[in-house]
Amino acid sequence: MALIDKPDCTSVTMLTDLHRRDVLRRLGALGITGAIGQLYSGSLFARSGEAVKGLDRLVGGEVVNRAHDRYEAWRNSMVWHLRKPERYPDAIIRAQSEQDVIAAVKYATDNGLKVSARSSGHNSTGAALRNGGLLIDLALLRGVEIDAARKTARIQPALWSEQLVQEAGKHGLAFPAAHCPTVALGGYLLGGGMGWNNAHWDGIACHAIRSADIVLAGGRKVTASADAYPDLFWAVRGAGYGFFGVVTAMELQLYPLPRAIHTSMYITPLDKLHTVFAALDELSEEKDERVEILVLLMHDPQASADTPPDQAKICMVGVNAFADTEDEARAMLAPFANSALAAASVFKLEYQPSSFEQLYNPEGLDTGIGRYMVDSIWTEEPGQSLLSLAEHFKTTQSARTHVLCAYGVKTELRTDACFSRIANHYIASYMLWNDAADDAANETWLRHTNALLQPYSKGTYINEIEATLFPERVKSSFSEESWQRLAALRKKYDPDGVFHSYPGYS
């Protein structure tokens, strides 16, 4: 399996036009988390070395426990944003191979330790970072093999989304990877996966998983597919960070590469939202399924510091056509150019040729790192949902905060995947700010946002919720049937609770 090198990266890019992003949450006010930090770095600090004694002799990768001088740097690196959860595993192991994962899980099982795993740390709550036990960092497992004849890819969990798209593209193939280039595929697919062109490519990306190599409690490795361990195959397609195993590799279905990607963009003031959503409601019903519509409520980058709040926010609509010829792409975008959306726009840029490389690296990047938080809903009423936020959105605590809506999502659910909450449209609210002193204000803003959207919600998306702050939203990411089945499978495959469950759930 070819190993893809990851460039050193101290910040994660955020797309300002065609973007989706995993973001953050740290629990508690600074005084409380400071006390927790003292507890775990103090009274429990000394015994952490004993808790993992001998582990370093069983694995090839490096092991850092709480007594190590690099422990805090490693711990902080487990979450990509700057709002770090005050949670302290006994040790972090940077696995170099699948065998390291097997050995670490067996060691944890034999010694009564809990286990969590991390691919790239893009989960907003930092779910891999737990108190006590072993955190298995999979960041070095980023191999990929493309089988062009079978149209499949075999990947390791830390492979970035953009890296798979690049490798597949060399063979005329593509995949509905995350819109953010640096999101690793392991966690992305385990939680479902809202990716490029997903309405055309079998819907939620986890549907493209053909098999998965999984390390279970006790260090037992199995390969789950439709024909072997079908119950685990069901669970790995959507369970998210409460999964009861460590995925070390997946085989994925690939799709023909679109040869003519074109985009259009429209910007309107917020006082035109009724017109925008009326037009999009109609356009999303009639569009080709290869057309992706992303709506962004955002701060106007041209606004000055003294611009009134009701004039400093805009609505941007990005439309991507994943076509095979230029004529086909233009025909797919033409209904938007001839719509009330275009007529209401104060700026538009239509029929622009593009590529996945350009979609991942558009002009106008916000490359700054910061403090993050996110939550989401599935809805059948996108216009009403976003209109309910219009006034509230003018009060954002940061100019970097934005709300995204994916219009016209493919709603297919499958009996062989536990991913079980979806609607025709998806809305995610992203808090982005710089100063820790503003944490409480941003949390309050998100709580109010969720309350305004709740009447329109058909459920939540496990990959983009503040699970530590709102643990009840974990359960709302699944149907009741899927939730109960996951609980039964956890008892079957992890009866002693070796693997951490969802935050807030034992």
Run of H or E residues at 372:
strand 371-379
Closest CA to 119 of 137, 132, 106: 137
Q: How close are the terminal C-alpha atoms of the chain, in Å?
A: 37
- Give the number of other CB atoms < 10 A from CB of residue 262: 21
Please identify which residue in the block is written with the tokens 């959306």. 341
Q: What is the pLDDT of residues 88-138, one digit of tens each?
A: 999 999 999 999 999 999 999 999 999 999 999 898 999 999 999 999 999
- Give the number of other CB atoms < 10 A from CB of residue 209: 24
193 vs 258: CA distance, rounded Å: 20
As a CATH number, domain 260-475 is 3.40.462.20
The SS3 of residue 175 is coil
- Give the number of other CB atoms < 10 A from CB of residue 437: 9
Task: Note whether 143 and 155 are within 8 A (CB).
Answer: yes
139 vs 79: CA distance, rounded Å: 12
Q: What mean pLDDT is predicted for residues 373-384?
A: 97
Run of H or E residues at 196:
none
Task: Note whether 427 and 457 are within 8 A (CB).
Answer: no
CATH level 2 (architecture), domain 140-256:
2-Layer Sandwich (3.30)
Q: What mean pLDDT is predicted for residues 364-393?
A: 89
Q: What is the pLDDT of residues 70-101, one digit of tens each?
A: 999 999 999 999 999 999 999 999 999 999 99
Q: What is the pLDDT of residues 218-227, one digit of tens each?
A: 999 999 999 9
As a CATH number, domain 30-137 is 3.30.43.10
pLDDT at 335: 98
Least confident of 159-168, 247-256, 412-421: 412-421
pLDDT at 51: 73
Please identify which residue in the block is written with the tokens 């003519």. 260
Run of H or E residues at 383:
helix 382-393
143 vs 163: CA distance, rounded Å: 10
Closest CA to 420 of 185, 210, 207: 207
In the chain, the amino acid numbered 36 is: I
**Apex 21 CA angle, 16 and 25, nearest 5:** 120
Q: What percent of the chain has pLDDT over 90?
A: 82
Residue that wins the pLDDT comparison between 365 and 485 = 485
Between 382-393 and 273-286, two packed helices, what is the crossing angle to 10 degrees? 150
How, if at all, do strands 402-407 and 62-65 pair?
unpaired
Looking at the whole model, is its pTM more than 0.85? yes
Q: For the chain, which residues make up each domain, given as ranges?
A: 30-137, 140-256, 260-475
73 vs 77: CA distance, rounded Å: 6
Q: What mean pLDDT is predicted for residues 49-71?
A: 90
Closest CA to 464 of 419, 429, 423, 502: 429
pLDDT at 488: 98
55 vs 64: CA distance, rounded Å: 10
Cα R_g (the chain), whole angstroms: 22
DSSP secondary structure letter of residue 469: T
Task: Note whether 467 and 456 are within 8 A (CB).
Answer: no
pLDDT at 49: 59
Q: Name the band, by pLDDT with cuts 50, 70 and 90, for residue 366.
A: low
27 vs 80: CA distance, rounded Å: 16
Task: Note whether 196 and 356 are within 8 A (CB).
Answer: yes
Query: Residue 15 is encoded by which pair of tokens?
Result: 């797309």
Query: Residue 413 is encoded by which pair of tokens?
Result: 């659910």
Query: Residue 251 is encoded by which pair of tokens?
Result: 């085989």
Q: Name the band, by pLDDT with cuts 50, 70 and 90, for residue 18.
A: very low
Kindly report the three-state secondary structure assignment for every residue of 328-361: HHHHHHHHHHCCHHHHHCCEEEEEEEECHHHHHC
Compute CA 446 distance to the chain's CA centroid, rounded to the nearest angstrom: 18
Sign of the Cα torsion 282, 283, 284, 288 reads positive
Query: Residue 126 is encoded by which pair of tokens?
Result: 């930092």
